[in-house]
């Protein structure tokens, strides 16, 4: 990577990857604050809180399975 230099594309990719990693970290942090608040408001049990958290990560898993396919179809347009 050092031999390619630090051109505009490399800077753009570093920024995009950094923002994506940051957004994922923020999502986990917000989830740790919001689940107890929602549980208190809705009267959720501990099992329901865990199910809510697991469903968020299951959604990420499904998105991760289909995202490469979506990008490939977008690139081939």
Q: Which residue has the higher pLDDT, 73 or 13?
A: 13
Polymer length of the chain: 77
Cα(60)–Cα(54) distance, rounded to whole angstroms? Answer: 10
Per-residue pLDDT tens for 3-48?
Answer: 666 788 888 888 988 888 888 888 888 888 999 999 999 999 999 9
Q: How confident is the model at residue 74 (pLDDT cuts 50, 70, 90)?
A: low
Report the Cα 1 to chain-centroid distance in Å: 26
Q: How many CA atoms lie within 13 A of 17 on its CB side?
A: 6
Minimal CA–CA distance to 56: which of 33, 70, 37, 35? 35
Query: Is it the case that residue 1 has pLDDT exceeding 70?
Result: no
Please give the average per-residue pLDDT across 55-75, as a whole number: 76
What are the DSSP E strand ranges found in the chain? Answer: none
């Amino acid at each position: 990577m050092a031999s390619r230099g630090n051109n505009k594309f490399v800077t753009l990719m570093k920024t995009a990857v950094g923002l994506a990693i940051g957004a994922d970290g923020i999502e986990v942090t917000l989830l740790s604050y919001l689940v107890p608040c929602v549980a208190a408001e809705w009267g959720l049990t501990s099992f329901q809180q865990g199910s809510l958290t697991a469903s968020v990560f299951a959604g990420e898993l499904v998105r991760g399975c289909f995202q490469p396919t979506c990008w490939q179809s977008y690139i081939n347009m």
